[in-house]
Amino acid sequence: MREVLATLTDAGHEAVLVGGSVRDLLRGQPPGDWDVATSAAPEAVAGLFPGSTWLNRFGTVTVSPSRARPIEVTSYRSETGYRDRRRPDEVRFGVALERDLERRDFTVNAMAWRPADLETGDGELIDPHGGRADLAAGILRAVGDPASRFEEDALRVLRAVRFATGLGLQLEPATADAMRAAAPTTTEVSGERVRDELLRILGDPVALPSRALRLMLDAGVLAAVLPELAALAGVPQGKPLSGDALDHSLRTVDALPAGDPVLRLAGLLHDLGKAVTLADGHFIGHEEAGAEMAAAVLDRLRLPHADVARITHLVREHMFAYAPDWTDAAVRRFVRRVGPDALDDLFALRAADNLASGVAEPARGGIDELRTRIAEVAAAAPLATHQLAIDGFDLQAALGLPPSPEIGRLLGELLEATIEDPALNEREALLDLARRLAAPVD
Ligand code: ATP
Ligand code: MG
């Protein structure tokens, strides 16, 4: 960071720390990232840092200093317009730092620190909007007119939720009113931007996500960005428990680890199906309906396909009910269906679901017993095709088949057979079975 500031100032430009890094330093917290702003134009910044990348017209250049994490260097700019409520119509560079601070969202994010001496760390705080006082008083306040700020960019509604709960700040009343008024317009924010904010809310290492999600509910933001979840408000829990299905979902999220926001998202969405299966009084099939609803939500939020698959799979499987009378083959079938790699996720979700329902896992017939039994059966029999005594090449050679989907199908069938009868997992027995299972060549 010093290196980046020094390179810019040595070249005759003004360079300051801005945004979250100044805010976090004033709070006595290590900044999550360093945001640098400069009077230099983006072209000049890119020229000073070989290997830097310049992605968009907003003048942010990502530079990668030696031995350090990438730093975003943003050229001072002012913004006007926002006719589409998403991005400014016009961005102007070459403005003074004070103009650049005016375009920022909240007073606590609109401070800059100008270094006087990088060696000693002497410098000057530039704080035209009173961010330092607001931070000290525990207040989150929009810069300038709150209504216009949320109208310009509705994502700020979600950012307000994240900063208020993450930093433990109270919303200043006019900011809170404007936020509520703008909540319905968050439907216009792109799925990607909502996703990134939501995952940051869910990944907060300290603040419980339920606080942020409640704030979203109260302000009308949840109904706009996650209507399927908001619909769980008032849906009674299936069991004789207090609260509704939304309370339960929020408690489940809180009980999952912050280090895995995608798993927390699975916890948030795991009971979505309860809103549509309520009619039967028992939520029959809510995991199947819920998995489909979760897929629709996650596609809308542009989650990567792997995360969508991970979450929908957990939603679909979360109702599994282990009983001590399961045969070893039943345990193997369970592992096969869930997939060995998804077991930890599924057990973590079950533990959180239990905690959120006030249900204790029984010592006999509980998850711990199932884990032990899985370890036992895994040691004794294959649970995945790569653990079979033969592989696809053996099948091709023995059956005279070309590489084709048929080979994969056969391996799957052989695995199913060995799951029922582990004694089959032996070369000749498997080849024999494969010959019988192979589609007749015509
Ligand atoms: P974090 O600690 O989470 O990185 P941050 O405040 O640094 O928080 P960034 O998203 O890194 O947040 O943005 C850096 C700065 O850019 C913010 O502090 C704020 O001044 C400004 N900013 C970012 N997004 C917006 C926005 N949508 N509207 C207005 N200003 C914004
Ligand atoms: Mg930042």
Closest-CA residue, ligand 1 atom 2, reads 20
pLDDT given at position 397: 94
Q: Is 29 in the pocket of ligand 1 (CB under 6 A)?
A: no
For residue 212, what are the contacts with CB-CB under 8 A and spacing of at least 6?
A: 161, 162, 164, 165, 166, 201, 204
pLDDT given at position 51: 84
Ligand showing the shortest atom-to-Cα distance for residue 111: 1
Q: Is 105 in the pocket of ligand 1 (CB under 6 A)?
A: yes
pLDDT given at position 133: 98
Q: Is 19 in the pocket of ligand 1 (CB under 6 A)?
A: yes
At 288-330, the pLDDT tens digits run 889 999 999 999 999 999 999 999 999 999 999 999 999 999 9
Ligand showing the shortest atom-to-Cα distance for residue 34: 2
Mean pLDDT calculated for residue range 385-403? 92
Q: How far apart are CA 173 and CA 371, in angstroms?
A: 51
Radius of gyration over every alpha carbon of the chain, rounded to an integer in angstroms? 28
Best residue among 80, 87, 105 to mutate for probing ligand 1's pocket (most ligand atoms within 8 Å of CB) is 105
Best residue among 21, 23, 104, 157 to mutate for probing ligand 1's pocket (most ligand atoms within 8 Å of CB) is 104
More confident residue, 439 or 120: 120
Label residue 159 by pLDDT band (50, 70, 90): very high
**Cα(4) to centroid(ligand 1), Å:** 19
Mean pLDDT calculated for residue range 341-361? 92
Label residue 225 by pLDDT band (50, 70, 90): very high
Length of the chain: 442
Ligand showing the shortest atom-to-Cα distance for residue 32: 1
Ligand 1 atom closest to Cα of 33?
4
Q: Is 79 in the pocket of ligand 1 (CB under 6 A)?
A: no
Where does residue 101 rank: exposed (0-12), middle (13-18), buried (19+ CB within 10 A)?
Answer: buried
Mean pLDDT calculated for residue range 374-386? 86
Q: Is 162 in the pocket of ligand 1 (CB under 6 A)?
A: no
pLDDT given at position 21: 93
- 68 pLDDT more than 80: no
- 420 pLDDT more than 90: no
* Predicted TM-score (pTM) above 0.75: yes
Listed in sequence order, the DSSP H helices in 49-125 are: 97-102
Which helix (H) or strand (E) segment is 17 a member of?
Answer: strand 15-18
Mean pLDDT score across all residues of the chain? 91
Mean pLDDT calculated for residue range 382-407? 90
* Weakest mean pLDDT among 95-99, 110-114, 256-260, 378-382: 378-382
Q: Is 153 in the pocket of ligand 1 (CB under 6 A)?
A: yes
Label residue 165 by pLDDT band (50, 70, 90): very high
pLDDT cut 70: percent of the chain above it: 95
Label residue 168 by pLDDT band (50, 70, 90): very high
- 439 pLDDT more than 70: no
pLDDT given at position 239: 60
Q: How far apart are CA 433 and CA 410, in angstroms?
A: 9
pLDDT given at position 313: 97
- 282 pLDDT more than 70: no
If we measure between CA atoms, which residue out of 279, 256, 280, 284 comes closest to residue 269?
Answer: 256
Q: Is 35 in the pocket of ligand 1 (CB under 6 A)?
A: yes
